[in-house]
Amino acid sequence: MSTPDLSGLRIIPANEASWDDLQAILTGSAGRCQCQRQRLGDHDWFRLPQQERSAILLAETHCDDPRATETIGIVAYLDDEPAGWCAVDRRGVYGRLRGSPVPWTDRNEDMDDPTVWAIACLVVRRGFRGRGLTYPLVAAAVEHARARGASAIEGYPLLTAGSKVTWDELSIGPLGPFVAAGFTEVSHPTKRRVVMRLAL
């Protein structure tokens, strides 16, 4: 099997990307979500129409504003085409993580520690999948967090055991990219979920 050509890949903070490009990536279930379910938690997310979710995401990413000092993710381009998105931010801002047992089982962690970041969502655009884009996305998310003062970064990937899964399940990412980026297992709270962490 040949290695996919990623020589034309560049990954930038979301505020340096255009809003239209980000929306080209967020289609289907990701488009309906607008990367808000992890941040808002299920209760608040379900009651918001998609238009309001989009407005929140735009305000959080600061797309089309390269002078912005904050943004909540990174955008990948392959041969100048928008190809992937990764939500990465301080762990405590993700309401769904705060309410889930997955990150906290058998751990005594301060949920509000602003120096611990998390990779909450990975999306690869249709037509660009199967090329291994989640690997450089996770690696770039690590550097994005490091540059903003993170002391550690976590991910909560899904164990696929080689089986095919839907985007909805795999939006948290598969295990491989986290291992490749140097993350190590902290806990294994469910049969299919692993808490991975990298000290920075």
Q: What is the CATH number of the domain that holds 111?
A: 3.40.630.30
Whether the CB-CB separation of 71 and 14 falls below 8 Å is answered with: yes
Domains of the chain: total: 1
Average pLDDT of the segment spanning 85-93: 98
Look at residue 1 and tell me if it is in a domain.
no
pLDDT > 70? residue 186: yes
- pLDDT tens digits, one per residue of 125-136: 999 998 999 999
Look at residue 187 and tell me if it is in a domain.
yes
Whether the CB-CB separation of 189 and 102 falls below 8 Å is answered with: yes
Residue span of the structural domain in which 65 resides: 9-199
Look at residue 2 and tell me if it is in a domain.
no
Q: pLDDT value at position 169?
A: 67
Q: pLDDT value at position 4?
A: 80
* CA–CA gap between residue 18 and residue 111 (Å, rounded): 32
Look at residue 75 and tell me if it is in a domain.
yes
72 closest CA partner among 53, 94, 51, 50: 94
pLDDT > 80? residue 161: no
Look at residue 121 and tell me if it is in a domain.
yes
pLDDT-derived band at 163 (thresholds 50, 70, 90) equals low
The pTM score is 0.94
Look at residue 77 and tell me if it is in a domain.
yes
Sheet arrangement for strand 9-13:
9-13, 73-78, 81-90, 116-124, 152-155, 195-199, 184-187
Q: pLDDT value at position 165?
A: 63
- pLDDT tens digits, one per residue of 103-120: 999 999 999 999 999 999
Look at residue 4 and tell me if it is in a domain.
no
* CA–CA gap between residue 19 and residue 14 (Å, rounded): 9
Q: pLDDT value at position 5?
A: 85
Q: pLDDT value at position 121?
A: 96
Token reading at 35 = 């990367």
